[in-house]
Structure 1
Amino acid sequence: MTPQPPENRDKDAGRWSDLSRPPLNAAALRRALVRPGALWTALDVVPATGSTNTDLAARAAEGAAEGAILVAEEQSSGRGRLDRVWSAPPRSGLFFSVYLTPRVPVEHWGWLPLLAGVATATALSQTAGIDTALKWPNDILVTAPEDSAAAGERKVGGILAERAGPGVVIGIGLNVSLTADELPVPTAGSLALAGARTTDRDPLLRAVLRSLERWYTDWQSADGDPAASRLQDTYAAGCATLGRSVRAELPGGTDLTGEAVAIDSDGRLVLATANGVQQPVGAGDIVHLRPATRQRPEGDDSPER
C-alpha cells in the first residue's frame, strides 16, 4: 500500500476522529434514495456549511431540479423562524434540506412544513422506536424517560420552509446523539437521551426522506387538499399543542391567550379565547408560542431550527 502524505492522513483521521459519530455514507444513501421515478433526484453530503437551506436555495436559483437533497455533517449557522441561529457538534445530528416544486394550488403550500413534521415524526417513531409529537408549527418533540439526563418533553428537531426559485426549500434539523451537556438550551433533547433504539444516522435519514416522499406524493395526488390527503387529521392527532392553554406572542409586543382547539384547513392554530371567540393564528403571525402559565424569562430567545 502506498503511504499517504501526512496531510491526507490528518484529513482521514479528522473524518473518523469520533468513532461514536461516524460520517454518513453518501454513496449508499444515493443508491437507496435516488432512482428512476422517485422524487429524490440528487443527494450531496458536505462536511460543513453555514446553512443547508441557504446553499440549496442558491442551487434552486441556478436551476436545480425538484428532489435535490443537501446534507451537512456540520451546520454552523442553521436558521430557524425569524432567523434564529442554531448549531451543534459535527455529526451529532441530521442537518439537511430538500427542494420541492409543488404542483398544487399555491394557497395549499403553507402545509409543506406541517407535512414535513408529520413525515419526520412518523419516521422517527417507526425507526428509532420512540414516542414523538409535534409542537405547532414547526417543532419535533419527544418525551424522554424520567431517569434520563433530559427527562420529560423535549424538542429534538425543527423545520424551516422558505420560498426559493419556483419552489420551496424545506430544512430539517434533528438532534441525534447529543449528550446532556451538549444541549443548546434547557428545553432541548436528543434521540439518544430519549432512549432511541438506534442513533445510526444513515437509516434514520433514509426513513425520514422516504416518509417525506410518501406524504408529499399523497398530498400532491389530492391536489394539496389537507383533508383528502389525511394530512390535516394526522397532524392534529400527533400535535401536542392541541388541548393546551397557550400564549401566542405577536409582533409589536401584544399576545393572544387561549386553548389550542384545532388546526384549520389553512394549517393555522385555532385558539379558543376567554371571551368565547375562536381565533386562528398563522405561523407567520407569531413570534413565540408558549404555555399560557409560563412567563418568559428575561433575555430568553430559545433557538429554533
Structure 2
Amino acid sequence: MTPRDASDANDKPNGSRWSDLDRPPLNGAALRRALVREGGLWCDVDVVQRTGSTNSDLVARAVEGTAAEGAVLVAEEQSAGRGRLDRQWTAPARSGLFFSVLLKPTEVPVARWGWLPLLTGVAVATGLSRAAGVDTALKWPNDLLVTVQGEERKAGGILAERAGDDGVVVGVGINVTLRAEELPVPQAGSLALAGAVSTDRDTLLRGVLRSLEEWYRRWRAAGGDPVVSGLQETYAAGCASLGRVVRAELPGDRSIVGEAVAVDGDGRLVIATGEGVQEPVGAGDVVHLRSV
C-alpha cells in the first residue's frame, strides 16, 4: 500500500475510520483533484491515517530529496505532534486538521524567512474566515485564537522548521470538531465550539491551502518584503497581541512585561515597558495579561 492510499484503510484494528460519523475521513483523491494543478504551488497532497509528526516526516522527505516544493502531508491523527518550545499537540483522530507543507523561497533573502510562520497565520485565519465563517485572531507569533462563550481560546498553532539548505517545512494544527470534554486544557478551543458554520475538513483544508498559496506567491513576488506584500499590515490588523499588556518569557529565564505596540519589519513583537523602553522580541512565549 502506498502512503497516499492509506486514507482508504481502517484507522483502528477493531474499528472503521467511519466509527465516528461526526468525523468522516478526508478524501485524499478529491483533495488532490482540487488542489494539484498545472502552474499551481501544490504538487502533491498525501493523506496518511496516523504518524508521529507530519513536520518530522516531511522534513525527512525534503532532506532525502523525495519531496518537492509544494508537497503537502496530512495526517488524520498524530501521536507526537509538536508545537513551539517542544510542546506536545494531541487530539483525537479526525478531530482537526494536522498538516505540513514544504516551501522553498530561494529567491527571498534568508533573513526574511522568519516571516513564513506569520504569513501562514494570516493565510490560515483568512482561509478559515471564508470557509468556516468563524472570527479568528492571531496571538504573536503563531497561535490561532477563537472566541468560545466570550473567552479567548487557542484553536490552532503553527511550527516552521528548516529542511536542508533551501527549504522550510511549515506545520499547522487546527482543532476543528474537538468537543468540550475533549479539550486538553481549559484554554483550548475549536472551530465547532466557536460556532463555525462548517466543520467539513475537506472544505476547510482546501480553503486554507488556497489562501496559503495566494499569500506565499504575493510575499515571494515582493522578494519577501513584508510591507510591499501587505503582509506586515495584514498581520498587525489581525494580531490580538497588539494593544495588550503582555508578558514575554524569553530565553535565559528572562521575562519582560509591557504593552505590545507593534510588529516590526523582522516580524518581531515590540513591547513598550514601564521604563519607557521599546524592546523587540523575536523568540519566546507571550502571555496576554489584559487590554490597555
Whether TM-score is above 0.5 comes out as: yes
How much has 1:247 moved relative to structure 2? 0.8
Name the aligned partner's letter for residue 251 of structure 1. Answer: P
What amino acid maps onto 1:111 in structure 2?
W
Is 1:67 aligned to 2:62, yes or no?
Answer: no
More strand by share: 2
Q: Which residue of 2 aligns with 1:213?
A: 213
Aligned residue in 1 for 2:54: 52
Identify the structure with bigger relative contact order (alpha carbons < 8 Å, sequence gap 6+).
1
Residue of 111, 114, 132 corresponding to 2:115:
111
Gaps of at least 5 residues in structure 2 are: 1-8
In structure 1, C-alpha distance between the alignment counterparts of 2:207 and 2:276, rounded to whole Å: 43
Residue 55 (structure 1) shift: 0.3
Q: Does 1:140 align with 2:139?
A: no
Correspondence for 2:31: 29
Deviation (angstroms), 1:257: 1.0
What CA distance in whole angstroms lies between the structure 2 residues aligned with 1:16 and 1:291? 39
Partner of 2:176: 176
The superposition leaves residues 154-175 of structure 1 with CA deviations (integer Å, 9 ceiling, x where unpaired) of 1100000000022000000000
Is residue 2:153 matched to residue 1:154? yes
Structure 1 stretches of 4+ with a deviation exceeding 3 A read 10-13
User: Which residue matches 1:3?
Assistant: none
Query: Structure 1 regions of 5+ residues with no counterpart?
Result: 1-6, 294-305
Structure-2 separation of matches of 1:60 and 1:12? 34
Deviations 1:210-259 (A, max 9, x none): 00000000000100000000000000000000000011112232211110
Which residue identity is paired with 1:140? Answer: L
Letter of the 2:286 partner, please give it: L
Give the match's secondary structure for 1:48: strand
Q: Does the CA contact (< 8 Å) of 2:112 and 2:225 recur in 1?
A: yes
Residue 257 of structure 1 contacts residue 292 of structure 1 at CA under 8 Å; is this kept in 2? no
Letter in 2 for 1:193: L
- In 2, the alpha carbon distance for the partners of 1:232 and 1:261 equals 14
- Which residue of 1 is the match for residue 4 of structure 2? none
**Which of 39, 42, 45 is the aligned partner of 1:43?**
45
Q: CA deviation at 1:291?
A: 2.8
Rounded Cα–Cα distance in structure 2 between residues aligned with 1:251 and 1:221: 34
TM-score, with length taken from structure 1:
0.89
- Tell me, in whole angstroms, the C-alpha distance in 1 between the residues paired with 2:222 and 2:177: 37
1:262-294: CA deviations, max 9, x gaps?
Answer: 0000000000111111110003xx1x211346x
Q: Deviations over 1:110-140 (max 9, x none)?
A: 0000000000001111111111100000100
SS at match of 1:122: helix
Counterparts in 2 of 1:129 and 1:85: CA distance versus 1, 3 Å: same
Q: Secondary structure at the match of 2:208?
A: helix
Q: Write the distance in 2 (CA, Å) between the matches of 1:272 and 1:53.
A: 35
What is the aligned length? 279
Report whether the alignment pairs 1:291 with 2:283: no
For 1:142 and 1:41, the matched residues in 2 are separated by 31
Q: Secondary structure at the match of 1:39?
A: coil
Q: Which residue identity lines up with residue 71 of structure 2 in the other structure? A: A
Does the CA contact (< 8 Å) of 2:241 and 2:288 recur in 1? no
Aligned AA (1:45)? V
The answer to whether structure 1 residue 17 and structure 2 residue 19 are counterparts is yes
Distance in 2 of aligned mates of 1:82 and 1:139: 13
- For 1:66 and 1:252, the matched residues in 2 are separated by 35
Identity of counterpart residues, as a percentage?
Answer: 71
Which residue of 79, 84, 95 corresponds with 1:76? 79
- Which whole-Å deviations, capped at 9, do the CAs of 1:180-205 have from their partners, x for residues lacking one? 01011111000000000010000000
Query: Aligned partners of 2:226 and 2:252: how far apart in 1?
Result: 32
Q: Give the CA deviation at 1:12.
A: 9.7
- The residue that corresponds to 2:6 in the other structure is none
What residue identity is the alignment partner of 1:131?
Answer: D
Please report the TM-score for the alignment, with normalisation by the length of structure 2: 0.92
